[in-house]
Chain A
Amino acid sequence: MINGTENILVCCGTGCIANGALGVADAIEAELAARGLSDDVQVKVTRTGCSGECEQGPIVRFMPRDLMYYRVKDRDAKAIVDSLDGEPVKKLLFKKDGQTYEHMDDNPFYALQHKVVLRDVGIIDPLNIDEYIARGGYEGLKKALQMTPDEIITEVEKSGLRGKGGAGFPTGRKWRTAAGYDVFPKYIVCNGDEGDPGAFMDGSTMEGSPHAVIEGMIIGALAIGAEEGVLYIRDEYALARDHIQHAIDDAYAAGILGESIMGTDHKLDLSIVRGGGAFVCGESTALMASIEGRVGEPRAKYIRSVQRGLFDHPTVLNNVESLASIPTILREGGEKYAEVGTEKSKGTKVFAMVGKVKHTGLVEVPMGTTLRTLIYDIGGGIIDDRPFKAIQTGGPSGGCIPEELLDLPVDFDTLVEYGAMMGSGGMIVMDDRSCMVEVARYYVDFLCEESCGKCTPCREGLRQMRAILTDICEGRGKPGDIELLERIGRTMQDASLCALGRTAPNPVMTTIKFFRDEYEAHIDRRECPAGVCADLTQFAIDASACTGCGMCSRACPAGAISGERKEAHVIDPAKCIACGSCREACRFNAVLTERRPS
């Protein structure tokens, strides 16, 4: 230990590795070795998992004194090691409004958060079961082993925990129903499919705190009487799968899984199944079909999985985040968990915030936190302080929420009243340069490939919606298109076989509801107000604002921009493909968009 520092943690979550975190860890380690300090301070080249502010990574943290460095490069290693017993490295500290923050908890990105699911993520080495146990891991399980199934379920009911996979079904009630069926074997299944574009909550949780998920599953299995469990993990999540598998192996070796859980006569076997590779595979009946080795298609079922699920046996399916909340609920009691949150949505929720917000990343906040707090206080506001336009929540099943609704508390029920939903926690922040018709088209296009295609309203409704929205974006919109989209949307909502199709129209319906004028501009005037739709937009440079810095011409993929240094640049309309790169690149707002004459 040197001056209160025992370890140097280097975040090696997927985001930070991409930014060179492994090199940073090596460099710091080499620096310590060179100075003979390796015994005093250990570098933890721990795949600590995502600490949540990926875009500011790689992140390096001195523990336990809690000093956080951001955007660290290999060449900072010397300065970092110097700072062990000296002044912090100023340029690597978090800065906001001219102020610097040394400690993680001072940084507003973290100060407003409340970590239950992510409490160990970014702090422990996920591949080391002892570090999990040292922070209270498997204490909840120990308690559960001394309780009856009924007592465990009562504790979960008291917590008010609702399923975080999107639907918000009360977890305690689900467990109680499953516990009530005397049909064996029963199964517990963890849904780690996470197929929404832009979401990475569950992946990061499995990567960063795999034992929490496993502990949650064991407790669930005890409650319902299951002796077999499956983790269904999205195919692309190789790292999450590795970490979970490693944790399962360690748990077997430690006598926590297998024939005798912690020396009792309870048993549980866990295994991993790789996801079927489509968004629809996260839907419960499709997921179970996929585990059974059949095509990942939903089944029309009016009988719930708790009664007849996997192999027609009683099955509890829970989301990663729901399960990772369980150990804390058992350890600290359901009432403690229920202290935060709103009346009907207790506890916390993890969000993956991306898009045009200053600090993107993973955040965990009490249920009921407003969108405004999330975007402005935690997210630091919109990049370049541009005007906020909308936030897309809930992925392809969710909706676009406009400025006037930013003070809504985010919980399971409120956004639904406005046709959107909190969903599983993906959030995409958009500024005034986002076209809402194009956003709707993007999600519909995604679902055209990611639905299973089994039932008429979803498959054919999406096909027609895609055609109409593409027409609108390309200047072929017709009067009556909005009404036809709504008509198809309503039938999809009512008549689709599974929840994918029933929620698929949400992005379209909410953008029509809140940004109808933008649809009308496209259809009636062939104009894209946001300057996004290429067929409707032309670009020009405002000579009076242009400083001639040349950023635009470097960004232009079509070689359409010319101009001498320090003189106003011009765009050649014949070469311009209206990609918008120059507008993004220009720091002086000199690139203007206008309606392209037809």
Chain B
Amino acid sequence: MSEMITVTIDGIECTCEKGEYIYDVAKRNGIFIPVLCRHDAFPDHRACCRICIVEVEQRGRTKVVTSCVYPIDGECEIRTNSERIQEERAVLFALLGHRAPEAEVLDDMSASLDMSGFKRLISVDNEKCILCGLCVQACNALGTGAISTVQRGTDKKVDTPYDKPSEFCVGCLSCANVCPTGAIEYSQTDATRTIWNREFELVRCAECGEVMGTPESIRHAVGAEGDAPTVCDSCRKKRLADEMMHTYRYV
């Protein structure tokens, strides 16, 4: 078992293993730190939104760190809501809010902060994406790797390679579902789904008619050799149950 350390977070004593991230320890102790680019589904965090900043005081020195990736390495005092953190977090929310004025979630998250003094900032029209990168992480985690962040500096954005419909996209919607601001648009008709400029057919369940996904996403899920299902998960479970009932009846 690795070394145990006691730290204080906002005055509360917390025990943790050496190397645990501040965010995780705080959460376990009921202390809330806002996050945007961190998601439990992924082991690595991009640490790019910087909203989760906290102050760490250790050996007489105070520094600002991102709690989602900062490993606790010794006794220290952590403040998640000091004046300095509130001020800098407000600036970060203001910067994101003007980058993505359509991202409503930011208003809710910053409601408790003093957001005055930012009227002067310029806004990017009609933008919703805050560049948290979760969509890219989701797509990479699936092994599809259809989207990535492209360009750099202030021109950075999420896109398919060369802004063309991606041959790797399977139309699974994982990216759109994980997006905290609803920035990834897709549309659906009875028979088709369009995302990232590519149109997919839709496969419906042979029994109940619910959308099961696209042929590509179903194929991707079962692998090249696997048998693609023709009924949806819930129908398949129901069918199994029926079959079992059937079997038992003759026992």
Contacts and interface: CB of A to CB of B under 8 A. Distances in A.
Contacts of B156: 452-454, 459
Contact of A452 (B69, B91, B120, B152): B152
Contacts of B152: 278, 280, 449-453
Interface stretch (A120-128, A159-167, A489-497): A489-497
Interface stretch (B44-52, B170-178, B209-217, B222-230): B44-52
Contacts of B71: 302-303
Interface stretch (B95-103, B160-168, B196-204, B240-248): B95-103
Interface in A245-293: 278, 280
A463 B127 CA distance: 15
A532 to B, nearest CB: 24
B146 to A, nearest CB: 16
Contacts of B148: 295
Nearest to A493: B64
B92 interface: yes
Contacts of A467: 121-122
B151 A453 contact: yes
A462 interface: yes
Contacts of B49: 455-456
B46 A300 contact: yes
Interface in A474-499: 478, 480-481, 484, 487-488, 490-491, 494-497
B69 A302 contact: yes
A453 B50 contact: no
A482 to B, nearest CB: 11
B50 A456 contact: yes
Interface in B147-198: 148-149, 151-156
Interface in B38-58: 45-51, 53
Given A464-B98, A494-B53, A454 B92 contact: no
Contacts of B87: 487, 491
A488 B155 contact: no
User: By DSSP majority rule, is chain A's interface helix, strand, loop, or mixed?
Assistant: helix
B16 interface: no
A496 B65 CA distance: 9
B154 A462 contact: yes
A460 interface: yes
A461 interface: yes
B154 A459 contact: yes
B120 A453 contact: no
B96 A456 contact: yes
B88 A495 contact: yes
Nearest to A481: B120
A490 B98 CA distance: 18
A300 B95 contact: no
Given A460-B95, A490-B88, A495 B48 contact: no
B117 interface: yes
A298 to B, nearest CB: 10
A484 B156 CA distance: 24
A394 to B, nearest CB: 20
A453 B153 contact: yes
Nearest to B45: A300
B69 A491 contact: no
B80 interface: no
A457 B88 CA distance: 10
B153 A449 contact: yes
A316 B98 CA distance: 40
B99 A463 contact: yes
24 contacts: A278-B152, A280-B152, A300-B47, A300-B66, A447-B153, A449-B155, A452-B153, A453-B131, A453-B149, A455-B47, A455-B48, A456-B92, A456-B130, A459-B131, A459-B153, A460-B98, A463-B122, A468-B120, A478-B120, A490-B88, A495-B50, A496-B50, A497-B48, A497-B50
Given A300-B47, A459-B153, A464-B121, 10 more contacts: A300-B46, A300-B48, A300-B69, A453-B152, A454-B131, A454-B133, A454-B149, A456-B51, A463-B154, A467-B122
Interface of B: 45-51, 53, 64-66, 69-71, 84, 87-88, 91-92, 95-96, 98-99, 117-118, 120-122, 130-131, 133, 148-149, 151-156
